[in-house]
């Protein structure tokens, strides 16, 4: 459901704040906003949660389509499924968003701004997504200026062997299938998920500009996780991910009138990563050791640079002490990154120490302070911190506030590219502040509002043939509203609105960031077995090399319970067949129909 922090169905899954794989209590949701699991109403920072219910009722073929239902989250894509897709949190793009799958940092070290390409990632095989907003470098290090997206894959929730299956087919020659198998006992857990997605697609360059060639996509994904309790106090485990994507893309005309045109270009991407960990949980002290590895390979046979290889290796120790007055966390981390662009090679490493103190100042007031110091091999030391406060004046209200600093280290490309790089670059630095209030009602309704502000100094940008530090301050500020109310016994209203004022140091509006983003939705239990939903999304006041038209898109769906553990469903994307663009010159889906089935065994 679309909510700020809320109660959902009980799950057993991994949710470590920075990277730790832990196990949750059944019942009240805890989130990854601190270095340890924390009850939702004790978190001072803003966190949005998508659970299995939400992910199973997506409003598009990719996960990003569901994420954009959350307040403060927008996206733009260079075409259809699998093309370059940017996720923005409060106006700041993927280069400022730390992204992790099962605790593995999946951002690409070879990107101009180290980031994750959201194109091609579906909700299949996922159980939970948490979006932590605001500068979070005190927890996650570099690139977490806008926030963090933590993605958790499916895990078994009942003892013995269990299975999950889903399949979907629809417009544009689209077909997808996902299968999961898991095992759970009092000591062991295993989970394996395999997904496959194919679509013939539509033209990445907008068909309304005369482009008719279809740009398709093929994607394969494997998630594999497991853990075993050696004793009542010691647990060891692993996580593995593998992604293989092949996407058709379009290019630019080198001749007048220039612009995007149909081309036969393709882009190939492989991602693979792994993580091993060991935890020791005592009565008042716990320890965790982990090591991780991630590699991404991109091949663009038509590009100026054709082959991109990025690698990240890391190790981390986290200790937790639980004295009578709260929780103290301390630890250290090391990461090495390498990039190879054709024959050009580069590397950097970062050593970090961190600490956090969580205090229950009273039964209804919680304070969390976090501090981290990163030492980068190129630019030296960068300290960051965060103070977060959660106050519950009564059972209905929660007041949250957080102030934090963050940084984004210059990427290997920005530092060392032989043509455009600049090895004198320093990190971009940020400060963020937020103040929010949440009110729950006895009928299950919820309303929340959050004021936010982020400023970035020493912005890195391209100018006069190389990357430089831009004088001045880039700012994003605004307000998020989120609500959910039952309208009788069978109908629920959902809505949110975000106003974002995002400006460069020169006073220009940040590209592709809407000032106004409104979403209204209804969910209804039409019968005891038939559910329906409809969402209306209105986006206004954007620029992308000039003003962009406003647009309104309607998505709808029906689901029917065959059994308590299986469903069939119908989804209609862009119900009114609206012609619009999220990035200038690039196409979006016309009205499209999809039907599918999902089942647990």
480-503 pLDDT, tens digit per residue, is 999 999 999 999 999 999 999 999
Domain residues of the chain, as ranges? 30-600
4-14 pLDDT, tens digit per residue, is 443 333 333 33
309-366 pLDDT, tens digit per residue, is 999 999 999 999 999 999 999 999 999 999 999 889 999 999 999 999 999 999 999 9
Query: Does the pLDDT of residue 294 top 90, yes or no?
Result: yes
pLDDT value, residue 20:
33
SS3 for 499-550 is EEEEECCCCCECCCCCCEEEEEEEEEECCCCEEEEEEEEEEECEECCCEECC
pLDDT value, residue 31:
67
pLDDT value, residue 261:
84
pLDDT value, residue 30:
57
pLDDT value, residue 514:
98
Overall average pLDDT of the 576-594 stretch? 97
CA–CA distance, 308 with 343 (Å, rounded to integer): 10
196-232 pLDDT, tens digit per residue, is 999 999 999 999 888 989 999 999 999 999 999 999 9
169-196 pLDDT, tens digit per residue, is 999 999 999 999 999 999 999 999 999 9
CA–CA distance, 477 with 444 (Å, rounded to integer): 30
pLDDT value, residue 59:
78
pLDDT value, residue 29:
61
Query: Does the pLDDT of residue 25 top 60, yes or no?
Result: no
Query: Does the pLDDT of residue 16 top 50, yes or no?
Result: no
**The two structure tokens encoding residue 77:** 């894509």
The model's confidence at residue 15, banded by pLDDT at 50, 70 and 90, is: very low
398-424 pLDDT, tens digit per residue, is 999 999 999 999 999 999 998 899 999
Highest CATH level, class, for 30-600: mainly beta
424-461 pLDDT, tens digit per residue, is 999 999 999 999 999 999 999 999 999 999 999 999 99
pLDDT value, residue 252:
78
pLDDT value, residue 406:
97
**The two structure tokens encoding residue 79:** 């075409």
Phi, psi of 124 (to 5 degrees): -60, 135
SS3 for 188-253 is EEEEEEEEEEEEEEECCECHHHCCCCCEEEEEEEEEEEEEEECCCCEEEEEEEEEEEEEEECCEEC
Mean pLDDT of the chain: 92
* Helix ranges restricted to H, 351-437: 412-416
The model's confidence at residue 574, banded by pLDDT at 50, 70 and 90, is: very high
512-563 pLDDT, tens digit per residue, is 999 999 999 999 999 999 999 999 999 999 999 999 999 999 999 999 999 9
Question: CA of 291: how far to CAs of 232, 238, 274, 309, 503, in Å?
Answer: 22, 10, 8, 20, 39
This prediction has a pTM of 0.93
């Amino acid at each position: 459901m679309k909510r700020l922090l809320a109660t959902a169905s009980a799950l057993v899954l991994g949710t470590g704040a920075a990277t730790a794989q832990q196990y949750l209590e059944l019942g009240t949701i805890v989130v990854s906003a601190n270095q340890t699991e924390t009850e939702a109403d004790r978190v001072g920072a803003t966190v949005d949660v998508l659970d299995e219910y939400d992910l199973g009722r997506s409003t598009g073929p990719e996960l990003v389509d569901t994420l954009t239902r959350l307040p403060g989250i927008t996206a733009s894509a260079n075409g259809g499924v699998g093309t370059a897709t940017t996720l923005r949190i409060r106006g700041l793009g993927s280069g400022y968003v730390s992204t992790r799958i099962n605790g593995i940092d999946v951002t690409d070290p070879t990107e101009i701004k180290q980031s994750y390409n959201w194109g091609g990632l579906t909700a299949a095989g996922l159980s939970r997504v948490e979006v932590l907003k605001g500068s979070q470098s005190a927890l996650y290090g570099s690139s977490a200026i806008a926030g963090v997206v933590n993605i958790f894959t499916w895990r078994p929730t009942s003892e013995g062997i269990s299975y999950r299956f889903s399949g979907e087919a629809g417009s544009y020659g689209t077909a997808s299938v996902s299968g999961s198998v898991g095992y759970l006992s009092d000591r062991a857990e295993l989970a394996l998920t395999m997904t496959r997605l194919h679509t013939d697609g539509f033209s990445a360059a907008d068909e309304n500009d005369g482009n008719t060639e279809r740009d398709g996509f093929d994607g394969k994904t494997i998630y594999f996780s497991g853990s075993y309790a050696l004793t009542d106090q010691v647990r060891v485990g692993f996580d593995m991910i593998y992604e293989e994507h092949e996407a058709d893309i379009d290019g630019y005309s080198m001749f007048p009138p220039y612009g995007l045109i149909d081309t036969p270009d393709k882009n190939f991407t492989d991602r693979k990563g792994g993580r091993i960990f060991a935890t020791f949980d005592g009565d008042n002290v716990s320890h965790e050791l982990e090591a991780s590895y991630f590699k991404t390979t991109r091949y663009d046979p038509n590009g100026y640079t054709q082959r991109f290889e990025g690698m990240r290796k890391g190790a981390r120790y986290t200790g937790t002490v639980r004295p009578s007055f709260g929780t103290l966390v301390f630890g250290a981390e090391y990461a090495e990154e390498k990039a190879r662009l054709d024959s050009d090679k580069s590397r950097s490493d970062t050593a970090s120490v961190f600490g956090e103190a969580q205090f229950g100042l009273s039964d209804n007031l919680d304070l969390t302070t976090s501090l981290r110091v990163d030492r980068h091999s190129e630019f030296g030391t960068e300290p960051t911190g965060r103070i977060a406060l959660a106050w519950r004046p009564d059972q209905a209200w929660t007041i949250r506030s957080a102030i934090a600093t963050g940084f984004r280290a210059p990427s290997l490309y920005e530092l060392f590219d032989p043509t455009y790089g600049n090895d004198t670059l320093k990190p971009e630095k940020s400060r963020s502040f937020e103040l929010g209030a949440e009110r729950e009602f006895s009928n299950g309704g919820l309303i929340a509002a959050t004021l936010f502000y982020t400023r970035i100094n020493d912005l890195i940008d391209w100018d006069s043939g190389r990357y430089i530090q831009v004088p001045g301050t880039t700012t994003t500020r605004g307000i998020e509203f989120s609500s959910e109310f039952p309208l009788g016994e069978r109908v629920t209203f959902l809505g949110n609105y975000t106003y974002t004022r995002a400006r460069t140091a020169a006073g220009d509006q940040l590209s592709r960031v809407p000032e106004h983003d409104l979403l209204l939705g209804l969910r209804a239990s039409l019968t005891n077995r038939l559910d329906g939903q409809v969402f209306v999304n209105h986006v206004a006041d954007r620029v992308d090399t000039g003003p962009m038209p406003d647009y309104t898109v309607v998505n709808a769906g029906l689901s029917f319970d065959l059994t308590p553990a299986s469903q069939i469903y119908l989804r209609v994307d862009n119900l009114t067949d609206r012609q619009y663009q999220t990035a200038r010159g690039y196409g979006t889906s016309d009205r499209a129909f999809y039907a599918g089935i999902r089942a647990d065994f």
